[in-house]
């Protein structure tokens, strides 16, 4: 009994800057659980970024490569519940013995140790026995260990090995994840729809999957209706509140103009002064991301520019976002203001 869900593997865990340390460390443990250089390995990060996925991928890979090793996956809640019922029927020693005999222990969500003094005590002893016997321990936590409010002796042991964090993936990584999930589900989503979705879902891959499931559902209900921007917008409304609020091109233009200290008319003018051009390109980019406007309509509202100019502008901003930190920060700030309804 390992509680492992075979669908979580390293192969289907898309790598990005946000997760490469954690992914590589997890893989290193899985490839060689006897090498306890990183023991324990702790993977931490906010909800929905792949902690459980990686933890189970470790288990699945070990089960496949080392069939005679016993791997146990458990959530901290389950562990607590087992402990509580073992106390109820005087079988705590059996439980502890059983855990002490695993080769690899995978413990999910150790933040659930907080306020559980007895679980912390039992886990402390278990941890020491496993580690002394060079058994691999991998754990996940929703916060850095240093912020975990548990007994000091336990916290310091958790810091003996390697800690790797998962952070929010960049747009490209989100798109790669969505593309992989769409293709695994044999769903076709046009790239611009993917970008639109990933632009709005930033901090939680589980939500990205939720959007995908809803898209599939909607499109299925409508006799295989094509997944387009309109459908994506409808579905996203249930996931992100800012889609609900009507963001208009005017709000975007006003916000950007104010941010760059320009008259809003300048955005639609023929001026080629550098910072006006940049503000104009950024405005076009944001109008595309936040509204339903076609490229043609966007060209019109920025002084009758053609469709190719709009495409070029959007691409320029996208490139700048990757190469220029100031622009990236400016865009984040602008998005916040637009979402907050300023302008
Ligand atoms: P956590 O445990 O951190 O809350 P999960 O491991 O449950 O998050 O991940 C949420 C969902 O997102 C899972 O279905 C997982 O497969 C998926 N996911 C997260 N990160 C990735 C990634 N890099 N590649 C593919 N899927 C991912
Ligand atoms: Mg989890």
Residue 98 confidence class, pLDDT cut points 50, 70, 90: very high
In percent, the amount of the chain with pLDDT more than 90 equals: 78
User: Given ligand 1 and candidates 7, 206, 213, which is best to mutate, with the most ligand atoms within 8 Å of its CB?
Assistant: 206
Q: Average pLDDT over the chain, rounded to whole? A: 92
Residue-level pLDDT at 338: 85
DSSP conformation letters of 270-304: ----HHHHHHHHHHHHHHHHHS---HHHHHHHTTS
Burial profile 175-212: b = 16 or more Cβ within 10 angstroms, e = fewer: bbbbeebbeeeeeebeeebbbbbbbbbbebbebbbbbb
pLDDT(343) > 60:
no
CA 89 to mean position of chain CA atoms: 41
- The pLDDT tens digits of the residues spanning 279-318 come to 999 999 999 988 888 999 999 999 999 999 999 999 999 9
Whole-number Å distance, alpha carbon 49 to ligand 1 midpoint, is: 5
Whole-number Å distance, alpha carbon 229 to ligand 1 midpoint, is: 25
Residue-level pLDDT at 229: 87
DSSP-assigned beta bridge partners for residue 163: 42
How much is the average pLDDT of 41-64? 97
Q: Cis omega (within 30 of 0) on the bond before 40?
A: yes
Contact status, residue 175 vs residue 194, Cβ threshold 8 Å: yes
pLDDT(71) > 90:
yes
Kindly give the number of the ligand 1 atom that is closest to the alpha carbon of 173: 23
Look at the chain and count its residues. 343
Backbone angles phi, psi at 208, to 5 degrees: -60, -40
Residue 342 confidence class, pLDDT cut points 50, 70, 90: very low
* CB-ligand 1 contact for 48 (6 Å cutoff): yes
How much is the average pLDDT of 182-192? 90
What DSSP designation does 108 have?
A: E
How much is the average pLDDT of 320-325? 91
Residue-level pLDDT at 243: 67
- Residue keyed to tokens 């019109």: 300
How much is the average pLDDT of 257-285? 95
pLDDT(210) > 60:
yes
**Axis crossing angle, helix 92-100 with helix 76-88, rounded to the nearest 10:** 140
Report the SS3 class of residue 138.
Answer: strand
* CB-ligand 1 contact for 205 (6 Å cutoff): yes
* CB-ligand 1 contact for 50 (6 Å cutoff): yes
Contact status, residue 319 vs residue 328, Cβ threshold 8 Å: no
Under 8 Å CB-to-CB from 17, ≥6 apart: which residues? 170, 173
Contact status, residue 269 vs residue 303, Cβ threshold 8 Å: yes
Residue-level pLDDT at 1: 44
* CB-ligand 1 contact for 206 (6 Å cutoff): yes
The binding site for ATP consists of 48, 50-52
**C-alpha–C-alpha distance, residues 100 and 291, integer Å:** 57
- The pLDDT tens digits of the residues spanning 118-152 come to 999 999 999 999 999 999 999 999 999 999 999 99
pLDDT(244) > 60:
no
In percent, the amount of the chain with pLDDT more than 70 equals: 96
Whole-number Å distance, alpha carbon 308 to ligand 2 midpoint, is: 44
């Amino acid at each position: 009994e390992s509680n492992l869900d075979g669908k979580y593997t390293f192969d289907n865990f898309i790598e990005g800057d946000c997760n490469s340390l954690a992914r590589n460390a997890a893989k290193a443990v899985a490839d060689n659980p006897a090498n306890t250089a990183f023991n324990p390995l702790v993977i931490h990060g906010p909800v929905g970024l792949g902690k459980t996925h990686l933890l189970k991928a470790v288990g699945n890979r070990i089960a496949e490569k080392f069939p005679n090793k016993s791997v146990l996956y458990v959530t901290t809640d389950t562990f607590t519940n087992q402990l509580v019922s073992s106390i109820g029927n005087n079988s705590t020693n059996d439980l502890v013995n059983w855990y002490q005999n695993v080769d690899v222990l995978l413990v999910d969500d150790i933040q659930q140790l907080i306020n559980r003094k007895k679980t912390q005590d039992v886990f402390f002893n278990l941890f020491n026995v496993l580690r002394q016997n060079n058994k691999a321990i991998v754990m996940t936590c929703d916060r850095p260990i240093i912020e975990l409010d548990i007994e000091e002796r336990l916290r310091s042991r958790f810091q003996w090995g390697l800690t790797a964090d998962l952070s929010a993936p960049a747009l490209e990584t989100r798109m790669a994840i969505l593309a992989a999930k769409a293709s695994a589900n044999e769903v076709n989503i046009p790239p611009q729809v993917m970008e639109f979705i990933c632009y709005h879902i930033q901090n939680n891959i589980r939500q990205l999957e939720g959007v995908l499931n809803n898209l599939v559902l909607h499109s299925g209900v409508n006799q295989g209706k094509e997944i387009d921007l309109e459908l994506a917008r409808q579905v996203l409304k249930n996931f992100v509140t800012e889609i609900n609020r009507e963001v208009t091109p005017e709000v975007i233009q006003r916000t950007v103009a104010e941010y760059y200290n320009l008259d809003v008319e300048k955005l639609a003018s023929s001026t080629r002064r550098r910072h006006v051009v940049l503000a104009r390109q950024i405005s076009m980019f944001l109008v595309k991301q936040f509204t339903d406007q076609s490229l043609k309509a966007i060209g019109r509202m920025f002084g009758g520019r053609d469709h190719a100019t709009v495409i070029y502008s959007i691409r320029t901003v996208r490139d700048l976002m990757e190469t220029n930190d100031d622009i990236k920060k400016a865009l984040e700030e602008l998005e916040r203001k637009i979402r907050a309804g300023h302008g």
